Structure 1
Amino acid sequence: MYLMIILSFTIFLCVIHLICNYNGKARELKKIPGPPDRFIIGNLPEVLVSAVDLMKLARKYAETFNGIYRFWVFPFSFVNIYNPQDIEILLSGMKYHGKSEVYKFLKPWLGEGLLISRGDKWMKRRKILTPAFHFNVLRKFCGTVQENSQRLVETLEKAAGETINVVHVISEFTLNSICETAMGTQLNAETTDAGKAYKDAIYELGHSLYKRFITIYMYYDFIFAKTIEGRSFYKHLKALHSFTQRVIVDRKKYVEQHGNTFNENQVDKTTMLDMLIAAEKDGRIDSKGIQEEVDTFMFEGHDTTAAGLSFCLMLLANHSDIQDKIVAELKEIFGDSTRPANMEDFSKMRYLECCIKESLRLYPPVHFISRDIHESVKLSNYTVPAGTICHIFIYDLHRRSDLYENPSVFNPDRFLPENSVGRHPYAYIPFSAGPRNCIGQKFAMMEMKSSISEILRKFELQPVTTPSDIEITADLILRNAKPIEVRFVKRLN
């Protein structure tokens, strides 16, 4: 009896092995270079490591292969790319604009918001939301962002000279900014506690999603829901949705009472949430759709910017000469004045912009994106068959030595106009590229210029965490495994 069971199971495994390794799709994939795989399980053992080691593994493969490699974990096949020519093929048009199966893990949280949706739904949502990030709207929010930057400086002044974990204070700043601008809601004492729970929940969700990503049996929703990680995920999901639902309800009440305006000092500022509420009245979106977009933008609008700012402050702290150049530029713009910055000032912060861009090159907050290959495509002269998941590793793209000389060195001069000529348009994509690029990238740049300029006008940044201390951990957003610490010392002049 037992012999028959063992024999049957062995035959079953052999059949699965033949199906997975010798069908047409498998034969095409095997032509693409990649790490050696194992019977049935493929490359599964390689990913059963810590979050830090998983990121190191991806970097190792990026150094081993030349811009493309395959990876197989039964029953999923992946092709990972990090060269601009292939990336342009996938991102420049709408043919491969559908997000891959990996993003389904985010659906309980973000629904079918702009990040995940595809086809007609994506196009309709993008059309509704695009006006919220028009230059004239950003100009009107400049004052709000500056006020938050000044509050950030006040927070830093209380701990001047001490070592500060910048991730915490910067996350609070970016959450306040996205709430007060895109959502039209100012956090008060009560909602601040809810906001803290929201930020904490995001970190916990990231951990659960990482565990799900490396554990194949958790790919199935009904199994994941019964695991410890699944229960933790849904517990923290309640905190996230509770916070964003409160933001929506508060704004709807305000709009009902006052229309789509702020107080007398903030007249005619239409927020992204106001536009969604108006679209609901017109029948272009329902309440579930509003929830999806608010969840999407609350996450992306604060967490990605916070990550970008944290790494940028760390880099500036470790390069006093570059700090001095930014301060000299700010002196030319403001002189001895302590007035707040405006949009015209931001446009003059050209060297600071180069520094931000270089920081986003080294530490892109969205370090990879993933596409569904629904029909075969040629990448690096290999045929990638339909049904393959294609990861675009932005982190490795940005560190290619054939695109950037001494790629691990922080050198803002790379982004001076004269040094950017001839660079492949898809060699630098911190905000993605093509039709599905980040809708809020101009807002993010304004927010980063506002906060960094305000900080450097008041403080000298001194290093605590160094680039060699950074250990990237696998997460939705690029994060360091430990705190990112900087010392803020008041400037004497």
Structure 2
Amino acid sequence: IGTVLVVLFAAFYYLPWLKRVIENFLYQYPYVQKLPGPKGVPFIGSIADLAGDTTVPLKFWKSEAEKARLAGEGLFTITVLGRTITFPINGEHLRSICESHEEVTKGKDYEYLRVWLGDGILLSIGKRWRDRRKAYTQLFHFSMLDGYLETFNVHARVMADVLKENAGKVVEMGDISKRYALDCIGDTAMGYQFGTQRDPSHPYLNAVDIFTNYSQRYNTEPQMWITWIWYLMYHRVYKDALDTINQLTEDVMNERFRRIKNGEIDLDAKKKPLIDQFICLEQDGQWTREDVRTELNAVIFGGHDTTSTTLTWAFWALATQPHYQQQMYEEIHDIFGDSDRDCDNEDLKAMEFTERFIKETMRMYPPVPTVERELQNDFQMGKYLLPKGSEVFICPYIVHHNPEIYPNPSKFDPDRFLPENIAKRNPFDYVPFSAGTRNCLGQKLAMHEMKCNLSWAMRKFSFHTDGNLLDQGLAIEVICKPTLGCKLKVVQRV
């Protein structure tokens, strides 16, 4: 009888959710039958095809994308437990959703981030999103970007010192890149010195890892959906991590507001962290104090993991392809010689091969697994009508590995990003940071940060491994991580 009571309780508890799911399924089912893609068992859909480790979803999606391509289609659709999900596989089909000003609502899988990121730039919709977007566009003006390069140099120097201390050893470049990126974003966003490159035990670093790990698992491990199991086994650790994140943000804000009130900080200074610019908006009455906290969390979240992951993949690609590593070294040596000077804007412009290399890294190993939209209306994509309530997944990996766009897509080739080759492609054939109305406003800042990092790393060190480029798989977490990590031997140049 106990089992029966548990089943009845669960059925009653989840009845409203189940009712909504079934209603959506019944509305969308006639549309789905006309869309290309695996049909699977009604309602259950392709859940079995997605079961397995964190590498399985990308493999399944890529396989279905190839079937759609060979059939002459520009998209495919799958269903998973009543959810209808469409994947465009080329820029032509991506353009319609990316450029839409109406369909900007984020997909269901982002909800797990709302307890941290709130209703800020990453998750908001409507007028609130448009107002935030306008504010951020002004904040990320080119003149503002110039001021952050000095900060990147400071932390890149520290990273070079850390590598020097480990010269001759095998190190995990993923950890080193992550600490560098967190120190950079803490400084540029909050004027706060995390110092994780010198102190890897900083509680914020561990808290972010725990929060993102639990949040991602919540989407894929059904036992976590059961309330009593969640509170018994997961809630305390999850809440402690979230409290650590929020407390640090609150402490930094309180200290910043205090120093501004006491006249210790000049809000009119040309170079200032984003928090000061957010506070200006708060003092003008455009934002509330809660808005400042929400946007700081959003910038920290969006500004360190994607950058650090791309750097990790870049170091892996350099170590497994010594000819490209030599080419990058020669470019950087031509610019800097044997000097120890900082990287400036003219240097960034001259690092043409380095930029192409980074772009090819993000083509082969895009940091973001999917960018999701939940359709608020029936939506025309190519020759197909997608149903209201269904979702569109922009999967950069699928588009970037379409052989009709990038011949021999598993070959690493930075020359794909020579100007004459870029001109041949649809602008939406390359979407590592999404594109269109909800594109990443910080992508230029991220490129500056990565080029600055490599200018220091390649001047002073070479990186080595016995592994091959394609040994790695992509593990889907909040971002796409290398399945084997990135353990490289660091050799100091003489």
With the length of structure 2 as denominator, give the TM-score of the two structures. Answer: 0.89
CA distance change for structure 1 residues 333 and 192 in 2, over 3 Å: closer, same or farther? Answer: closer
- CA distance 1:226–1:21, change in 2 (3 Å): same
Aligned to 2:219: 213
Match of 1:254 in 2: 259
Change (3 A) 1:413 1:203: same
Alpha-carbon displacement from aligned partner over 1:234-268 (angstroms, at most 9, x marks no partner): 33222222232233223223323345449xxx963
The RMSD of aligned alpha carbons is: 2.8
Using the alignment, how far apart are the partners of 1:313 and 1:194 within structure 2? Answer: 20
Contact 1:72–1:78 (CA<8 Å) still a contact in 2?
yes
The residue number in structure 2 matching 1:26 is 29
Q: How does 1:167-316 map to 2 (within 5 A)?
A: 167-187=174-194, 196-215=202-221, 226=231, 228-258=233-263, 260-261=265-266, 268-316=270-318
Secondary structure of the structure 1 residue equivalent to 2:31 = helix
Q: Would you say 1:51 and 2:57 are equivalent positions?
A: no
Pairwise CA distance, 1:89: 0.2
> Secondary structure of the equivalent of 2:380?
strand
Paired residue for 2:4? none
Asked whether the 8 Å contact 1:21–1:27 carries over to 2, the reply is no
**Unaligned 5+ runs, structure 1:** none
Shift of 1:199: 2.4
Given the alignment of the two structures, is residue 120 of structure 1 paired with residue 122 of structure 2, yes or no?
no
TM-score relative to the length of structure 1: 0.89
Q: CA separation in 2, counterparts of 1:465 and 1:363? A: 17
Asked if structure 2 preserves the Cα contact closer than 8 Å seen for 1:146 and 1:340, the reply is yes
Alpha-carbon distance in 2 for matches of 1:46, 1:230: 29
The one-letter code of the counterpart of 1:35 is P
Q: Distance in 2 between matches of 1:188 and 1:25?
A: 51
Could you tell me whether the CA contact under 8 Å between 1:465 and 1:486 is conserved in 2? no
Query: Letter of the aligned partner of 1:319 in structure 2?
Result: Q
Identity over aligned residues, as a percent? 29
How far did residue 223 of structure 1 move? 7.2
Whichever residue aligns with residue 149 of structure 1, its letter is A
For residues 462-473 of structure 1, the aligned pairs below 5 Å read 462-473=464-475
1:110 lines up with 2:117 in the alignment:
yes
Compute the displacement of 1:166 (Å). Answer: 0.7
Deviations 1:319-351 (A, max 9, x none): 111122222222322233332211111111111
Using the alignment, how far apart are the partners of 1:204 and 1:107 within structure 2?
A: 16
Determine which of 435, 439, 442 is the counterpart of 1:440.
442
C-alpha displacement of 1:111: 0.6
Q: In structure 2, the residue corresponding to 1:351 is in which secondary structure?
A: helix
Cα distance in structure 2, aligned partners of 1:357 and 1:344: 19
Task: Note the residue ranges of structure 2 that are not aligned, 5 or more in a row.
Answer: 1-6
Counterpart of 1:339, as a letter, is R
**Paired AA for residue 197 in structure 1:** P
Amino acid at match of 1:243: L
> Where in structure 2 are the equivalents of 1:467-482 lying within 5 Å?
467-482=469-484
- Deviation (angstroms), 1:181: 1.6
* Contact 1:71-1:78 at 8 Å conserved across structures: yes
Partner of 2:410: 408
Give distance in 1, aligned partners of 2:392 and 2:127: 22
Cα offset for 1:490?
1.2
Q: 1:19 to 1:181 in 2, by over 3 A?
A: closer
Contact 2:45 2:79 in 1 (8 A): yes
Cα pair distance change 1:482/1:243, threshold 3 Å: farther
For residue 135 of structure 1, the aligned residue among 139, 142, 148 is: 142
> How many Å separate the matches in 1 of 2:366 and 2:210?
21
Q: Paired residue for 2:66?
A: 63
Partner residue of 1:346 out of 345, 348, 352: 348
Q: 1:307·1:479 contact (CA, 8 Å) conserved in 2?
A: yes
Q: How far apart, in 1, do the equivalents of 2:441 and 2:367 lie?
A: 15
Counterpart CA distance in 1 for 2:49 and 2:239 is 28
8 Å contact kept, 2:43–2:79 = no
Separation (CA, whole Å) in 2 of partners of 1:283 and 1:273: 15
Q: Whole-Å Cα distance in 2 between the matches of residues 143 and 312 of structure 1?
A: 22
Distance 2:250 2:76 in 1: 42
Equivalent pair of 2:370/2:396 in contact (CA under 8 Å): yes
Q: Deviations over 1:176-221 (max 9, x none)?
A: 11111222122369x976973322233333332333223568669x
Q: CA 1:24–1:231 in structure 2 vs 1: closer, same or farther (change >3 Å)? A: same
Residues 94 and 435 in structure 1, CA contact (< 8 A), matched pair in contact too: yes
Paired residues of 1:208 and 1:232 also in contact (CA < 8 A): no
Q: Is contact 1:305-1:448 (8 Å) kept?
A: yes
- CA 1:231–1:464 in structure 2 vs 1: closer, same or farther (change >3 Å)? farther
Which of 95, 100, 105 aligns to 2:107? It is 100
Q: Deviations over 1:26-58 (max 9, x none)?
A: 111121122242254333333342223333333
